[in-house]
Amino acid sequence: MLGGGNPVAGSNPSGTSATLQYVGGNVYAGWSGQVIANNTTDASFMNFTTGNHALKAILNYSLDATNTTSSLVGFEVKVNNEVVYKVVIGVDDGPACFQPTHIVLAAQSRVQITGTSTDGDDTPMAMCVTAEVI
């Protein structure tokens, strides 16, 4: 059972871990805000360290590909500097639809999530992360 009382420092999942917000068994990294990616610059969505428990996370990626032409867009997840997930799709001047991505993130791990685009013009994109402690 999680939470409650006055546990040994650092073992309570209720608290803050870098940019993660722990509320009981739920975890919120929130929304990255709109960031820009293009063929020379990746978009940095999130950069955080997980707490003392593994997380079952849901990643929701969105972008506005209105001005893109035959581009590849997507995102990747690194855990402790190793790519553990990467997805790229082709878009051609319109919205790109991604299904939510479910992923398990290990305890005490550094997580970096970045977006990519091969378009020469700026491609606005965003990421929202929610999770639960497992």
91 vs 47: CA distance, rounded Å: 26
pLDDT of amino acid 11: 44
Which pLDDT does position 93 carry in this prediction? 60
Residue 126: name the closest of 56, 58, 33, 64 by CA: 33
Rg (CA), the chain: 16
Q: DSSP labels for 12-32?
A: -SSSEETTEEEETTEEEEEE-
pLDDT tens for residues 48-86? 999 888 999 999 988 876 666 678 888 999 999 999 999
pTM of the model: 0.79
What SS3 class is residue 65? coil
Does residue 89 or residue 4 have the better pLDDT?
89
Domains with residue ranges and CATH for the chain? 16-133 (2.60.120)
